[in-house]
Amino acid sequence: MDSRKLIESCLAGCTEAQREAIRHPAGPLLVLAGPGSGKTRVITRRIACLVASGCRPDDIVAITFTNKAAGEMRRRVEALGVASGAWISTFHSFCARMLRVHGRSVGLKPSFTIYDDADSVSAVKRAMQELEIAQSLFQPSYVAKAISGAKNRLLGPEQMRESSGPPEITTVARIFERYEKLLRAANAVDFDDLLLFMVRLLQDAPETSEQLRRRFLHVLVDEYQDTNHAQYLIARGLAAGLGNICVTGDPDQSIYGWRGADLNNILQFEQDYPNAKVVRLEQNYRSTKIILRAADRLITNNLARKPKSLWTENAEGEPVRLFRLEDERQEADAVAADMARLFRDAGFVPRDVAVFYRLNAQSRVLESSLRAEGIPYTIVAGTEFFQRKEIKDLLAYLRLLDNPADDVSAERVANVPARRIGDLSVKRLKEWGSARGLSLLDAFARAEEAGTKGTALQGVAEFRRTLDELRAMPRTPVAKIVERLLEAIGYERYLASATDQGRERIENVRELVNAAAEYDEAEPEGNLLGFLEQAALISDTDRWDAERGGVTLMTLHAAKGLEFPAVYVVGLEDGLLPLKRDDGDHDLEEERRLFFVGLTRAKRLATLSFAETRARYGKREFTKPSQFLDELPAEIEAAQPAESFGAAARSPFRGARAKRLFGRMGASPEPRRVRRSENEEIVYDSDYPAADGLSAAIHAAAPFKPGDNIVHPTYGRGKVLSLSGYGDDLRATVRFPSVGVKCLILRLARMRKV
């Protein structure tokens, strides 16, 4: 395709404002993008347009905050048929990549290990032990938070000590100092360090920074309102050469101030870059007029913002409704009953609907009402795959292969599975080693000299043998190393002996092997370090939507970037939304933005609710309706929630009506946390209802039918029991002798007939 045509196709179907942003040739550009205004479309087409105009894809870097956003952007850019090869990644993985290459000039060895939050807390614990500060005095996680907060503002231990904080700040600063020493000695960096070292690279390493400045002709940053100070400096530093910086975002959707995001970065963009062009994307393609009016009216109450007038050509739509209930139990019942009505009368299906709340704790009542009502649901929360104990154990081993200095990992797995190395032996070796400036593994190597005796000495020798054997292997394919590791330490046997959870853990371990195999396939140039980096920087919420079957329950924070035909926002009470902490600290404008984000997720129907009393920490309290309700237009409708089947379901006539109405959809007998798997296919831990007569015709065309014997890459052989759903959502319920009954989405499950 010639470049003129390509540029034309990039502009096709776009509004004037979108076109302006897409073809802006050079110089700073600020795109203020309201919710649902086609922001991703603008960024991806802009990238394509730059390439069409002669820029090499490799000269463009586009930075996002989440892997999901990066993946989506990459997918869409590639779909435009150009520009594959552009750097599209998160801040953290971008920095990691750069530091692997250039880190030496700021004192980082290329094989550095990335510590996630849990590892950071472990390192803090260790620092506190070394300083003999009792964990009862300072909670390690609290200290880790304080350290992260300081790093976000580019402060070191000294500045923290000098800062005007509470008196105990000096102790925290001492721990901070020791923590830094530990990480450097372990050749490890935490999440914040990835950004900080990058900043240093750009500021203190003249040669490298000069090189980096010339490296990227165009720098794009998405969700700019969420950048913290370090990220701001990185963006500025990268673009310092040519000044081709394009940032997109919405000050009204900044909800991570408490994590160090600085709203001023976007508000002051025009002062930072005086010749900046500003484009406002104000047309909304997502919501009805009524929903948009409500959101717009609400947010005009904020002072720290850039005025925008949101509008849409969409229909007027249904009124925003407000439920007022006696307590949180009834609120949850009302939401569930109302949903049931939507499914019955209004043509909605469960996956169209989401419930948002301020606190995770609010999900519990909702769960129980949904279950009583027989409505399937998915909670977005819970342990992330790579955070699970069994996965962290294995990753710790893998890290040690290229980074033997990583003491946090060494300590973690020295005695896993048990090798009769007791805590005391580890403690002695640790002290013996640190007195001599040795890593824990070095100390292990000289255990006899250090005075370790008996079974512990044998255990240490065994541990070292295992590591040496693995270290001698080639670094790729990664899956091979993981498999050998499992064998060498007899890990599956170890997990199996740990009874009930054992089976799930073994499954997770196999998922890790899968993940490694997929990595090998996706990254022919990859190696063990690359895989570990991916594992450290990826979280599972990235992969939730492929498998959502039911109603979605999540916090307002988690809702950002998503959209649903029908949305409920619950708990609109003073002190809860806006949330007030016990110490009275709160940022009203950020809370308002949070509600704004929630409201603007809704496409067709938005429903709000509050309860007159609510139990908090076991004590029941009277509430006041949220002030945000007063800030909405008068057209908000006080609504009568439908009669609750939930209440009936808890009576002796348990669930009869619900069953009649929703029998086909099936209840969620167990709460289903989002369970992650690399191949995105496990859906339910329980049986899913079989197909009824109506869908039999659809299922006749399916590649499998009940009774078929199949084989699945993870679970092995199994027998299809039934089919359900249709289209992309077609599922098979399969019995596997190895793991029992599973319900799999056919589109995603890689199984075949035998």
| Interacting residues with DNA (CB under 7 A) | 65-68, 90-93, 117, 135, 139, 142, 191, 223, 226, 256, 258-261, 358-361, 364, 381, 415, 418, 497-499, 537-539, 541-542, 554-555, 557-558, 560, 579, 581, 585-586, 615, 617-618
Q: How far is the CB of 498 from DNA (least distance, A)?
A: 5
The Cα 324–Cα 128 span in angstroms is 49
Laid out side by side, the sheet with 551-555 consists of 377-379, 551-555, 353-357, 564-569, 602-611, 321-325, 637-638
One of 190, 192, 223, 589 is an active-site residue; which one?
Answer: 223
Pairing of strands 218-221, 60-64: parallel
From the CB of 2, what's the least distance to DNA, in Å?
37
3-state secondary structure of 662: helix
Of the listed 222, 296, 406, 511, which one is catalytic? 222
Residue position matching structure tokens 């930075």: 63
Instruction: Enter the tokens of residue 733.
Output: 């319920």
The one catalytic residue in 39, 286, 324, 371 is 39
How far apart, in whole angstroms, are the C-alpha atoms of residue 305 and residue 151?
A: 26
Query: Dmax of the chain from CA atoms?
Result: 80
CB-wise, 20 or 250, nearer to DNA?
A: 250
Nearest distance, CB of residue 327 and DNA, angstroms:
12
Give the three-class secondary structure for 51: helix
Nearer to DNA, 190 or 407 (CB): 190
CB 465 within 8 A of CB 488: no
Candidates 719, 722, 699, 723; CA nearest to 710 is: 719
Q: Which is nearer to DNA, 223 or 373 (CB)?
A: 223
> Partners of 218 in the beta sheet?
60
- Cα angle, residue 336 at apex, residues 614 and 643 outer, rounded to 5°: 95
Kindly state the smallest distance separating residue 499's Cβ from DNA, in Å.
5
**437/581 with CB nearer DNA:** 581
Q: 6 or 558: whose CB is closer to DNA?
A: 558
Q: Which residues of 213-241 are buried (b: 16+ CB within 10 A; e: fewer)?
A: eeebbbbbbbbbbbbbbbbbbbbbbbbeb
Q: Tell me which residue has tokens 């984000």.
A: 597
- In the residue annotation, 378 being an active-site residue is answered as no
Whose tokens are 């971008």? That residue is 94
- The minimum distance between CB 693 and DNA, in angstroms, equals 40
Catalytic residue among 601, 604, 731, 742: 601
- Least distance between DNA and beta carbon 614 (Å): 11
SS (H, E, C) 365-395: HHHHHHHHHCCCEEECCCCCHHHCHHHHHHH
Between 274 and 581, CB nearer to DNA: 581
CB 317 → DNA: shortest distance, Å?
A: 28
Place of tokens 């859906």: 683
Q: In the bound complex, what is the minimum distance in angstroms from residue 603's beta carbon to DNA?
A: 22
Residues forming a β-bridge with 281: 33
CB of 37 to DNA, least distance (A): 18
- Non-local (6+) Cβ contacts of 251 within 8 A are 32, 225, 263, 266, 267, 304, 305, 306
74-99 in b/e burial notation, b at 16+ Cβ within 10 A? bebbbebebbeebbbbbbbbbbbebb
Cα separation, 296 vs 273, whole angstroms: 28
Distance CA 287, CA 290 (A): 8
Nearer to DNA, 263 or 723 (CB): 263
Q: Identify whether 39 is a catalytic site residue.
A: yes
Give the C-alpha separation, 604 to 613, whole Å: 29
Assess contact for 655 and 647: CB atoms under 8 A. no
Question: Which CB sits closer to DNA, 128 or 336?
Answer: 128
For the question of residue 213 being annotated catalytic, the response is no
What whole-number distance in Å separates Cα of residue 60 and Cα of residue 243? 13
Q: What is the dihedral of CA 487, 491, 494, 499, to 10 degrees?
A: -120
Give me the catalytic one of 44, 227, 253, 312: 253
- The distance of closest approach from Cβ of residue 627 to DNA in the complex, given in angstroms and rounded to an integer, is 16
Instruction: Please provide residue 164's backbone torsions phi and psi, each rounded to the nearest 5 degrees.
Output: -85, 85
Distances (CA, A) of 203 to 197, 209, 210: 10, 7, 10
Residue 211 is among the residues annotated as catalytic for this protein: no
- Please tell me the distance from the alpha carbon of residue 26 to that of residue 604, in angstroms, as a whole number: 38
Backbone angles phi, psi at 223, to 5 degrees: 50, 45
- Find the shortest distance in angstroms from Cβ 575 to DNA: 11
Minimum Å distance from CB 615 to DNA? 6
Catalytic residue among 40, 283, 383, 458: 40
Which DSSP symbol is given to 264? Answer: H
Catalytic site residue 729?
A: no
Residue 490 or 716: the one with the smaller Cβ distance to DNA is 490
Is the Cβ of residue 221 or residue 537 nearer to DNA in the bound state? 537
Is residue 225 annotated as a catalytic residue, yes or no? Answer: no
Closer of 514 and 541 to DNA (Cβ): 541
- 317 or 598, CB closer to DNA? 598
Active site residues: 39-40, 222-223, 253, 601
